Structure 1
Amino acid sequence: MENLREKFKLRLAENNYKLTRQREIILETILENKQWHFTAEELFSEVRKKEKEIGMATIYRTLELMSKLDILNVLEFNDDSRKYELYLKESHHHHLICKNCGKLIEFNDQDIDYFESELEEKYNFKITEHKLRFYGYCEKCSQEIN
């Protein structure tokens, strides 16, 4: 967790931003919930438990900044909603997304990594990133639909 805090401080400094108290509280909240996929509203709710003075506009600005500085990944969905997650290079993963309830399930698959290597070789193309999402219905929603 300390590495991520230092990474954020360094990225801010490199881009001429300051680590304000509000940004620090927002970052702490995100780091406390490392495996969390969250909306701006969910983050706001958690941050308000610590600091009542932080407003929604500050949350949106900070999320935008953290995304720009590669601290957060933005997960955009077909319905124009957004969720955020920490950007951790060492934990590349993909998502299964329920179209009914919005549940997110992370997964890793070595076959996909192998497929990526095959694409690079076949097309003489260096892949620097990819985002893979599968949409469908989680177990609970599948049972409700049928």
Structure 2
Amino acid sequence: MSISTEIDKVKRSLMENGYKLTTQREIIVRVLLEHERDHLSAEDVYMLVKQKFPEIGLATVYRTLELLAELNIVAKMNFGDGVARFDLRGEDHEHMHHHLICDICGALEEIKEDWLTSLEEKLEKEFGFKVHDHRLDFIGTFNECEKGNCKRDKSAV
């Protein structure tokens, strides 16, 4: 999907919740879309937004990311390094995607498939518990990292 289509979706979601898509919010969303696989921290987003909109403040970026997370437009994640990272939620999946995180190089791969549907159905049937969302992170080692031949992009975390 195009960036403008995705921004229109975010705009609708904001409006449905009583918010506007301000210039600052649009630029932040645009940066998240342009760097979708990078799992950016608030500081990363700030540095990239500042290149396009120099007068923006770090506090505005933080507030916007928190608002987008509160509205489930982005997911706020922590991969064990103490840094909150933000990832746009896709409408193509009911739940957040999952991650493979390498404990040697720190790189990660995304898993877009939702392998937990049958588990969710079982939880609802056996416990009367309806799952609204989930996220699953697998921590381990990629084969090439284990062999000392890591070729993955460590900046993708």
The normalised TM-score by structure 1 is 0.79
Q: Deviations over 1:54-112 (max 9, x none)?
A: 22222111111111111101112334321111011323421112334432211145653
User: Relative to structure 1, is the Cα distance of residues 51 and 140 closer, same or farther in structure 2, using a 3 angstrom cutoff?
Assistant: farther
Counterpart for residue 85 of structure 2: 83
Q: What percentage of aligned pairs have identical amino acids?
A: 40
CA distance in 1, matches of 2:115, 2:25: 39
Secondary structure of the equivalent of 2:76? Answer: strand
Aligned residues: CA RMSD: 2.5
Q: 1:29 aligns with which of 31, 49, 58?
A: 31
Q: Counterpart of 2:137?
A: 133
Q: Report if the CA contact (8 A) 1:71-1:87 is conserved.
A: yes
Q: What's the CA shift string for 1:6-43, capped at 9, x where partnerless?
A: 22222322333332211111112222233331111221
Give unmatched runs, 5+ long, in structure 1. Answer: none
- 1:43 — aligned with what? 45
Preserved contact between residue 97 and residue 114 of structure 2 (Cα < 8 Å): no
Matches within 5 A, 1:1-146: 1-91=3-93, 92-109=96-113, 111-139=115-143, 141-144=145-148
Structure 1 residues 29 and 113 mapped into 2: Cα distance closer, same or farther (>3 Å)?
same
CA distance in structure 1 between the partners assigned to 2:145 and 2:61 by the alignment: 31
**Does 85-94 or 65-74 show the bigger shift?**
85-94
Rounded to whole Å, the distance in 2 between the matches of 1:58 and 1:22 is: 8
Give the unaligned 5+ runs of structure 2: 149-157
Q: Whose RCO is larger (CA < 8 A, sep 6+)?
A: 2
Secondary structure of 2:20's partner?
coil
Distance, in Å, in 2 between the alignment partners of 1:110 and 1:28 is 26
Q: How many residues align?
A: 145
Q: Which TM-score applies when normalising by structure 2?
A: 0.75
Distance 1:58 1:101 in 2: 32
Instruction: Return 51-60 or 96-105, whichever deviates more.
Output: 96-105
Query: For the structure 1 residues 111 and 62, does the alpha-carbon distance in structure 2 shift closer, same or farther, using more than 3 Å as the test?
Result: closer
